[in-house]
Amino acid sequence: MTQTNSPKNKNRILVLGILTGFVLATGAMLASGYMIAATNKETFCVSCHAMKPFRSAWKKSKHGMCNAKGLAAQCTDCHLPHDGLINYVTTKAYTGARDIINNLISEYANTQNKVSASDFFSNHPFHIRIEGFSRRKYVPAKEGEQRETKWFYERARGQYADELSKLKKAEQRRFKAENPRNQMFTKTDLAKFENVWDEHPRWVCLGAQKNFAQFAKRIGKAWILSQDFFNEFFYQRLIARGIIFRRTEKLVSAQPWYDGGYRAQTVANTLAVISEICKRNKVAIDYLKIWNKQEVYPSRLDATTITSKRVNDDIIHPPEGISNIGEWCKKEGCWTRLQSLIPELETSMPKAFWDDTVSLKEQAAQVKDAKTTQKIDDGINVQKTVVEIPASTWADVLTAGMKGKFLSPKEANLLRIAQQIPMKIPSEKQCKLLVAILEKAQKEGVALQ
């Protein structure tokens, strides 16, 4: 009989174990190397829906090829350490797990959490554009004042304080004078300003985060349909709506009938009712008038005073069986009942209110002109981006594309035109296609120098 515990068999088992361990270790290393490489690209990052706005912002930044050399940095190039494989892998695992947890918290936890849904939407191109307007667009000086100011849009939490912290005392005074704190607004403020006019008022009554989530959903779809809509007029209208919203808050608080409760619900529904009155009469608030004066005109305040009292009287008397007024304002029935007041309120509006409105046709013309201007600006920006990329970069993309067979004949011809910059400048349409080709090459793993 064979002795399984003989020295010869023991050696065989030892050798077999070593070979098995070697094969498994090699397989694990190869699998790990493949996984590391596969998860290093931005295409993997955006497999999570929360990261798609960040990718859009990255594409338009200096890190995403919008630079003179056409270079593109991957997420891992800047956000992970490169001082050793062990540190790299452990940090990668930790940050990945942390991002997943934070995303789950923002989606499913209550609004008391530090991580909020609005934070994950801050890098959407819409917010970047609004931030751009807010940093460069001065508003007219108010009557009796000489200095023009700006409305500071806080796209990410703490931006206002961060900007101040970078400045010396004298520079801080100038910054505050140019960007008054009472003209700072956040993403959730923006969502309130817009949704009371264009959405159901119950969204505002549901709270800042739920209202913002609805706003983000609506704006995300609108951005895909027409980026040109979010132009200078849109920004001016947004600021005018912000002025109306904050002035209404003060007005309601100062009314003799106001007892200190349900101001947020009264304000949201008051503005929604006035918006509905305008829609039914095919007129619009003269937002440019408010923008130019940086204050709400008297006839608009009179209309708000009348409407807010009637709205407050209605919402503080919910139907029998409902005792929580805040919850009542979140229901469809509340808004339905408020709309029944509109015929009565229409007759109560002062004549000056109607005189100070503009026709929908006039407003449509303002929107059309602003969209045309925005389209021109976008065209200039994309041409500027393409012209600043050196010819050698376009040559590299063409070579890689022909070798990798991911370019169409039309795309190859466009790259040959781009190689002739600055002797030959591509058209605006061609520049848009060239930017798309760069993005395509990036997805194919082309490393641009």
Question: In the chain, where are the structural domains located?
Answer: 125-370, 390-442
Chain center to CA of 433: 24
pLDDT one-digit tens code per residue, 203-228: 999 999 899 989 998 988 899 888 88
Q: How many residues does the chain have?
A: 449
Spans of the chain, pLDDT less than 50 = 1-2, 105-115
Long-range contacts for 224-230 (Cβ within 8 Å, ≥24 apart)?
226/371, 227/125, 227/374, 227/378, 228/371, 228/372, 228/374, 228/375, 228/378, 229/367, 229/371, 230/126, 230/129, 230/130, 230/374
Taking the C-alpha atoms of residue 288 and residue 271, their distance in angstroms, rounded to an integer, is 18
Q: What is the pLDDT of residue 192?
A: 95
Q: What is the DSSP string of 159-200?
A: HHHHHHHTS-HHHHHHHHHHS-GGGEEEHHHHHHHHHHHHS-
Radius of gyration of the chain (CA): 29
pLDDT number for residue 324:
92
Q: Which of 392, 396, 384 minimizes the C-alpha distance to 425?
A: 384
Contact 303, 349 (CB under 8 A): yes
Q: Which amino acid is at 285?
A: I
In this structure, what token pair is assigned to residue 354? 């109607």
